[in-house]
Structure 1
Amino acid sequence: MTATDLELAYDLALANRILVRHGVLDAFGHVSARAASAPDHFLLSRNKAPALVEPADILLHGADGSAGQGERLYLERFLHAEIYRARPDVMAIVHSHSPAVIPFGIVEVDLEPVIHTAGFLAEGVSRFDTRAEFGETDLLIRNSKMGASLAGSLGASSVALMRGHGSVAVGASVQHATYRAIYTEMNARVLSTALALGSVATLSSAEGLAADVTNSGQIERLWAVWGADVRFAEYYDTLSPVAASEGFPAGMPS
């Protein structure tokens, strides 16, 4: 990996822990980034629970989802590979099973933006159902064909709901995709609460777009707060990503 890819590896490890802290990831789910050294490749952890991912776990994956020989890889790496192939603008992807979002993938109620921090949802949330094309499966994205179908359903949206499974959120950076995944979950919780109370006043498309432009300029502030909130940051912030390229520490403090 190049020095820039090593910095991305650091960000990906941090993103995994931030997303766990915010209830978006648990023992499952994953975060990837398009490789700086080879735009048709991407960086993704070896198969590991997100809360335990360290920079040294991040592997360079080929355009077909392949990685180092003998490595145990995430089964659903194909969803990352095919979204990157279909969307040159996407630089990072979060796949999660966040609990407040899943219900919107199994009912006919749209996941519309109701909080300004989720204004990006105003562009529309896509839906993907494995059963429509692949019949009765375990719902996992197990190969390139399924990944390409998901990417096609995502289209130009920033979020796609996966029936009975979870969702994907994409962004222009690791920080951006992490932001979108967290606020998609938060918006889903608020919307569910509001729907139980009565009719809901959602953001208009114009409001959502305007809010998204404003909030996208504040992601560095959020990232600083979120990073400080996990012990991972306290451990690794003593090292710059470039210094860490000499060899990431082997273990985490207990």
Structure 2
Amino acid sequence: MSLSELIDDIVTANHILANEGVVDAFGHISARHPDDPNAYLLSRARAPELITAEDIMTFALDGTPLNGDTRKPYLERFIHGSIYKARPDVQAVVHSHSRSVVPFSITKMRLRPVVHSCACIGHEVRVWDAQSAFGDTNLLVSNVAMGDDLATILAKDRAVLMRGHGSTVVGTSVHGVVYNAVYLEANADLQMKAIGLGEVTYLTAGEIDTINSRLENALPGEGYGRAWDYWKKRAEDARQ
């Protein structure tokens, strides 16, 4: 994928995530630079619904803006760089504060897949607590040390919750990470509803692996591609 095509996808992803209720005025999505694995693309600090191609900036993995860009960046850009540094497999990252996910970051109830389409969130969604390593903070990932600590808790998983804050989701593509972010929120909503009805039957480890294997190797018109086309059309219609 060319740089211009990737930028277009990042813009579309911002609009999709806003339209699907994953982000509001806050939250952001990045992608690893297609020509430099030690750099990534992320918008300047702006509400996702409003982002255009001209807003996209390039950053080094330590969060330093490149190319002499002096526009205001997101404070929490360190989330993205630290994850790219720790995870060569990750090509895109979403950070959000989606409403249904947050309760799982502040209770003992763990977020686990409950429906096949949500197997993409992985076997385990751990909780990163800024208090553990940094004491009293504003809970924002505002420097490299906090980003690195978050990446350590994420480890090899697909998502991590952030106590009293939100979540961060990773993927092997922009389309894939949007899929994971949307279905993380969906799973949280469904799991809370199911808990209210009684004992919940969660997906097994084998089911999660089988579903994700098929998703990663889906044919055209399946999986990430079909979902992306659907969400993109919804976002475009909403903007008219």
Please say whether Structure 1 and Structure 2 have the same fold, judged by a TM-score greater than 0.5.
Answer: yes
Report the secondary structure of 2:57's partner residue: strand
Name which of structure 1's ranges 142-151 and 210-219 shifts more when overlaid on structure 2: 210-219
1:131 aligns with: 131
* Shift, 1:231, TM fit: 2.3
1:140 aligns with: 140
For the aligned residue pairs, the C-alpha RMSD in angstroms reads 1.5
CA contact (8 A) 1:122 1:203 kept: no
1:72 aligned onto 2:72: yes
* Shift, 1:214, TM fit: 2.4
- Structure-to-structure mapping, 1:91-130, within 5 angstroms: 91-130=91-130
1:211 aligned onto 2:211: yes
CA contact (8 A) 1:117 1:212 kept: no
CA contact (8 A) 2:122 2:159 kept: no
CA contact (8 A) 2:57 2:69 kept: no
Between the aligned residues of both structures, percent identity stands at: 41
Q: 1:31 aligns with which of 29, 32, 46?
A: 29
2:235 aligns with: 230
2:162 aligns with: 162
* Shift, 1:208, TM fit: 1.0
CA contact (8 A) 1:126 1:155 kept: no
Name which of structure 1's ranges 78-87 and 58-67 shifts more when overlaid on structure 2: 58-67
* Shift, 1:123, TM fit: 2.2
CA contact (8 A) 1:117 1:215 kept: no
Q: 1:20 aligns with which of 10, 18, 21?
A: 18
Aligned partner letter, 2:101? V
| Runs (5+) with no aligned partner, structure 2 | none
1:149 aligns with: 149
1:4 aligns with: 2
* Shift, 1:62, TM fit: 1.2
CA contact (8 A) 1:119 1:211 kept: yes
Task: Note the alpha carbon deviations across 1:195-251, whole angstroms, 9 max, x for none.
Answer: 01100000000011111222332111111111111228x9xxxxxxxxxxxxxxxxx
Aligned partner letter, 1:33? A
Report the secondary structure of 1:66's partner residue: coil
* Shift, 1:42, TM fit: 0.1
Corresponding pairs, count: 233
Residues of 2 paired with 1:42 and 1:121: CA distance?
23
1:237 aligns with: none
Residues of 1 paired with 2:83 and 2:122: CA distance?
21
Report the secondary structure of 1:31's partner residue: strand
Name which of structure 1's ranges 31-40 and 56-65 shifts more when overlaid on structure 2: 56-65
Report the secondary structure of 2:213's partner residue: helix
CA contact (8 A) 1:120 1:209 kept: no
2:196 aligns with: 196
Residues of 1 paired with 2:88 and 2:122: CA distance?
21
Task: Note the alpha carbon deviations across 1:17-41, whole angstroms, 9 max, x for none.
Answer: 1001111000000000000111010
1:243 aligns with: none
Aligned partner letter, 1:39? P
Report the secondary structure of 2:75's partner residue: coil
Aligned partner letter, 2:224? I
CA contact (8 A) 2:63 2:77 kept: yes
Q: 2:41 aligns with which of 40, 43, 49?
A: 43
CA contact (8 A) 1:32 1:43 kept: yes
Residues of 2 paired with 1:123 and 1:196: CA distance?
22
Aligned partner letter, 1:13? V
CA contact (8 A) 1:92 1:177 kept: yes
CA contact (8 A) 2:121 2:159 kept: yes
